[in-house]
Amino acid sequence: MVEGQIPIEEYETGNTKHSWDLPALKKAHKILAEYTYKKGEIQRGFANRTLYVNLSTLEIREKKVTEDMKKKFTGGRGFGLKLLWDSVKSTTRWDSEENELVITTGPLCGATQYPGSGKSLCLTVSPATDIICDSNVGGFFGPYLKFAGFDALEIQGKAKEDVVIVVDGDQGKITIETAPLEETNSHVLAEQLTFLYASQDTDAARQKISVVSAGLGADHSYWGCLNFSFYDIRRKVCRMKQAGRGGLGTVLRDKQVKAVLAKVERFTGVSNNPADPAAIVKVGTKLHREIRDLDRYQCNMRTVGTGHLVEIMDAYDLLPTENYRFGSFPKAPRIYSPKFYELFTKIIPDGCWHGCTMACAKTVDGFTVMTGPYKGERVTVDGPEYETIGCGANMSLWDPLWILEFNFYCDTYGLDTISTGTAIAFYMEMYEYGILNKERCDGLELCFGNGEAVLELLHRIARGDKGEFIIVAAKGARRVKDWLKKKRWGDPRLIEDAGMESKGLEFSEYVTKESLAMQGGYGLTLKGPQHDEAWLIFMDMVNNEIPTFGDKAEALHYFPMWRTWFGLNGLCKLPWNDVEPANNAETDEPAKVPEHVQNYVDYQNAMTGWHVDKEGLILQSERCYNWQRAMNVWLGRGRRKDDWIPYRSMGPVTEMEYISRNDRYDRQLKEVCGLSEKKVEKMTVQDKIAKLYDYRQDQYQKLADAVYYRRGWTPNGVPTPQKMKQLGMDDPRMLKMLQKAIDVDEKAGRNVWGGRYAKGEHPPSKNLHYWEAW
């Protein structure tokens, strides 16, 4: 042992001892359907078939993956889009019988030589947005599904009672089984099923199981996430990573699925049968060394995970505080990463799939739960990651232990921490203005900083409380906005401007007021405001590298396409730019991390035997990105009006916000809006807010023009049939649908750049509101 290191045994790990009657749980299972299949070999990253399960008809079957499907959709998220297109209708909504939950892998998923190669991609028609939502997640399920013989799993229909779907890759058997006695909440359920289905009573056997589940919160909200388990052999607990966004867990539970389980006893680092294994080892080893040598001087992810971002965001006025009113706060140092470092279990490697040297999946072991049904139990809390800590700041809750409690309950109840935290921060602001109060909140005093009330809200959601507020609050910020306006409680414009959602999905945790490009990175997206398409704040606001509309549009073309690529392949994005080669700053385009882009070119070619270059990778993404936008158009939500973002994400909504950054905004009125010093001095704060409001709304619409143009879309944001054909996506049904949509827009005069507004003028801000549909 290295001198000064603390031996692992000194850390207390593992959870409260359980007294489950496992044989009784198993005995209560009734097999509803069984399907046996012949296991085949993975070839160059593909199992070459997908698995279809229908819970209404109890049908289980295989579908072939064709070479044409690989060429057009690559894998992972692309396969998910293809399977959904073939199965749902334009009228399908999240709870429709035919809606599907699709879990996919990708050709690079399951490799252990290159860091970050264990991601699954999950897709569905979302309860929050009514369009396709995709979410990526670590844990062992994706690799195990592929090693069991399938590139994707489609779940359609609804069961009549709670079931588990078991994919047994050793026996070549799929079963749908009733599961009446297991607990629904994930931290217990994942362990029960892991112990139940392990082939032996050993940690090694438990490690061969992965469970996908949601929780009781997902039963009663639109914030349901999916928890993907991985048995941690050192801690002897099931840990979990989350596919958080868009209500995927809500769909799982609506289908009455308690869990999906995959089991694979035998696999190796080359189970993907790559075309050139030596080349993968070469490129992987290079990155392993970089992470080992450079991470400590760059992001320090191996030590504190993504939590290192809290202090950076606070320093740059980007940490959302009190529902994004502010970007920094005097109490913020209380939740900086060193505070969580003190709580994390150290030394034990923290990768969420084998071979990830980045190992950013931090945990707090032996955390004693303070409230709710598990009060007093000792549990392992996965995280908290930056986004979850940011939710604490957004609700003005500055206690690391409270954040751990919130993190634990969100996870086990199957609630997305981002949507939950962002929506509750909005409810708190409404409470502060008296638009909500104790009576209207079913007895909860939901003011900023009241952690007890937040946890009570979570427990009541999980219990299925029938209070009017509890029911609507659990459906998210969009539904609460509509509810408040319907009740005529408060100024509708304030409600719209302050509630941080777009397309029905709550924003993730970055303040974007001073970065127009990042506003586009949240608004001009496929699934809604999540930073996984583009994170341009530093390029735009801090380094001023993309000053013109053309520059911003180029960035909002390239980065969403590039980031989409990770999801097509089953990869984690973090090892791309959360560690950089030592000489990266000297390259032509440091933001793209060119050396790492070349790594991915080499990696995909070595796995698949294809011969693509870096432009080829972008083309793969562009095909799927445009396809997903086209599907959104088909589902009725893929136009300019749907890319609307609330004004809180663009500028100061209230006087208090304006005054808190008075110098900055006054200077902008003079420098960018062209007002004289004298005029600005004479203006009231309300007049200044109004002036900035019109200016910034106008800038956003101009940005949308530039981005749609760059992406090859119509002025109303629709991909053209010509563009689709150019990309090689020639599905006649898709092309016909797009042409029809464009014809409708044409007729309504929406197909001219800025044409609906005389002389190139952009719409007055009041017309931009979501409810005043074009």
Judged by the rule CB under 6 A, the positions of this chain that interact with ligand SF4 are 115-116, 138, 351-353, 356, 358-361, 572, 574-575
Q: CB 652 → ligand SF4: shortest distance, Å?
A: 35
**How many Å separate Cα 64 from the centre of its chain?**
29
Residue 116 or residue 169: which is nearer to ligand SF4 going by CB? 116
Least gap, CB of 42 to ligand SF4 (angstroms): 20
Of 319 and 361, CB closest to ligand SF4? 361
Handedness of CA 657, 659, 660, 664 (dihedral sign): positive
- Least Å distance, CB 217 to ligand SF4, is 23
Pairing of strands 378-382, 237-243: unpaired
Other Cβ atoms less than 10 A from the Cβ of 488: the count is: 7
In 661-765, alpha helices (H): 662-671, 677-682, 685-711, 721-726, 732-747
142 or 638, CB closer to ligand SF4?
A: 142
Pairing verdict, β 100-104 and 49-54: unpaired
Residues 727-757 as b or e (16 or more Cβ within 10 Å = b): bebeeeebbebbeebbeebeeeebbeeeebe
Task: Tell me the chain's radius of gyration from C-alpha atoms.
Answer: 25
Residue nearer to ligand SF4 on the CB measure, 318 or 359: 359
List, in sequence order, every residue forming a beta bridge with 228; answer none if it has no partner.
212, 241
Q: Which lies closer to ligand SF4 via its Cβ, residue 222 or residue 228?
A: 228
CA distances from 77 to 67, 133, 624, 727 (A): 16, 10, 8, 17
Residue 405 CB, nearest approach to ligand SF4 (Å): 23
* Secondary structure E strands in 92-162: 100-104, 120-125, 132-137, 152-156
Q: Count CB-CB contacts under 10 A for residue 18.
A: 12
Return the number of the residue (190 or 359) whose C-beta is nearest ligand SF4: 359
Minimum Å distance from CB 202 to ligand SF4? 25
H or E segment and range at residue 260: strand 257-263
- Which run of H or of E encompasses 193? helix 186-197
Closest contact distance (angstroms) between CB of 303 and ligand SF4 is 13
Q: Please, what is the minimum distance in Å from the beta carbon of residue 532 to ligand SF4?
A: 12
Residue 571: is it exposed, middle or buried by C-beta count within 10 angstroms (0-12/13-18/19+)?
buried
Q: Is the CB of 353 or the CB of 627 nearer to ligand SF4?
A: 353
Q: Please state the closest distance from residue 250 (CB atom) to ligand SF4, in A.
A: 23
HSE, side-chain direction, 13 A CA sphere, residue 500 = 38
Cβ at position 267, least distance to ligand SF4 in Å: 17
Q: Is the CB of residue 212 less than 8 Å from the CB of residue 263? A: no
Taking the complex as a whole, how short is the minimal distance between the CB of residue 46 and ligand SF4, in angstroms? 21
Q: How far is the CB of 358 from ligand SF4 (least distance, A)?
A: 4
User: 230 or 713, CB closer to ligand SF4?
Assistant: 230
HEC states along 35-74? EECCCCCCECCECCEEEEEECCCCEEEEEECCHHHHHHHC
User: In whole angstroms, how close is the CB of 416 to ligand SF4 at the nearest point?
Assistant: 16
- Is 572 or 633 the residue whose CB approaches ligand SF4 more closely? 572
CB-wise, 360 or 617, nearer to ligand SF4? 360
| Minimum CB–partner distance for residue 511 and ligand SF4 (Å) | 24
Contacts of 51 (CB under 8 A, 6+ apart): 60, 61, 62, 63, 145, 149, 150, 152, 153, 154, 167, 174
> Of 296 and 664, which CB lies nearer to ligand SF4 in the complex structure?
296
Nearest to ligand SF4 of 25, 579 (CB atom): 579
CB count within 10 Å of CB 541 equals 20
Residue number, 351 or 421, with CB nearest to ligand SF4 = 351
Q: Which two tokens stand for residue 691?
A: 């002036």
Which residues, including other chains, have CB under 8 Å from residue 623's CB and lie 6 or more apart?
Answer: 72, 73, 74, 78, 727, 728, 729
Distance CA 93, CA 476 (A): 17
Closest CB 569 distance from ligand SF4, rounded Å:
13
Q: What angle do CA 139, 140, 144 make, to 5 degrees?
A: 155
Nearer to ligand SF4, 354 or 723 (CB): 354
Both tokens assigned to 181? 């006695």
Q: Outline where 433-476 has alpha helix (H).
A: 451-463, 468-473
> CA triplet 362, 519, 706: central angle to 5 degrees?
130
3-state SS assignment for residue 745: helix
Nearer to ligand SF4, 461 or 572 (CB): 572
Instruction: Find the shortest distance in angstroms from Cβ 116 to ligand SF4.
Output: 4
